[in-house]
Structure 1
Amino acid sequence: MMLKRIHHVAVICSNYEISKQFYTEVLGFKIVNEVYRKERDSYKLDLAVNGLYQIELFSFPNPPARPSFPEATGLRHLAFETECVETAAATLKEHGIQVEEIRIDPITGKKFTFFQDPDGLPLEIYEV
């Protein structure tokens, strides 16, 4: 099996309009495609992340809650590269997003920090 890279990451949100605003206006991802699926009462929003990867944002009526702490079993978090963690964190804070203290990766020496999407999904910004 020859897997080449991650194609997309799917996120299910509890409030489509709030999450759409967060991912497009706060994080700055570009809308590639938006579809309302009447039979599922569900939206599917495809988002481009710097033209390289894609996030699929789904809405479903009454999705079940999931543990979202970075140390919960399952997907730990979704991380995004940035040139400057301080600048990215400041931009998030300007939008009213709580950002954890910036830390240094003890293995790579790179700066990183965590924040959450509107549903509490742990997100990371990591300096390249």
Structure 2
Amino acid sequence: MQLNRIHHIALICSDYRRSKHFYTQILGLPILRETYRAERQSYKLDLQVGEQTQLELFSFPNPPARVQYPEACGLRHLAFGVPDLSAAVKELTARGIPVEPIRKDELTGRYFTFFQDPDHLPLELYECPEEGSPLSQTEEG
């Protein structure tokens, strides 16, 4: 088996309009397609992240809450590479999004920070000044 890249990441949101606004207007992800599936009472919003990855945003009636305590089993966080971390943090805070203090990755020397989406999913911004280059073997978020 050869896995080449992550094609998409799927998220279920509790409030579709609020999450759509957050991911498209706050984070600026372009919409590829939006579908309403009446039989499931569900929206599916396909968003473009960079050149190769997609984020799928789903809505379902009454989804269960996500486990909120630190280090719970499952998805730990979703990390986005950005060329200028300080500029990205400044943009988020100007839009009213609380951001944790910037930290330095002791393994890679790169800077990163965390913030949350409307459903409290932990999101990370990881500074990658040379966007487009593959991650080194020591970089793990």
Instruction: Specify the alignment match of 1:28 in structure 2.
Output: 28
1:120 aligns with 2:120: yes
How many residue pairs end up in the alignment?
128
User: What is the 5 A alignment of 1:2-81?
Assistant: 2-69=2-69, 71-81=71-81
Q: Gapped runs of 5+ residues in structure 1?
A: none
Q: How high is the sequence identity, in percent, across the aligned residues?
A: 61
Aligned counterparts of 1:70 and 1:55: Cα–Cα separation in 2: 23
Q: Gapped runs of 5+ residues in structure 2?
A: 129-141
User: What is the 5 A alignment of 1:104-115?
Assistant: 104-115=104-115
Cα shift at 1:52:
2.1
Instruction: Specify the alignment match of 1:103 in structure 2.
Output: 103
**Distance of aligned partners of 1:70 and 1:123 in 2 relative to their CA distance in 1, 3 Å threshold:** farther
What is the alpha-carbon root mean square deviation over aligned residues?
1.0
Q: Deviations over 1:56-92 (max 9, x none)?
A: 0000000000114552211110000001111111111
Structure number with the higher strand fraction is 1
TM-score by length of 1: 0.97
TM-score by length of 2: 0.88
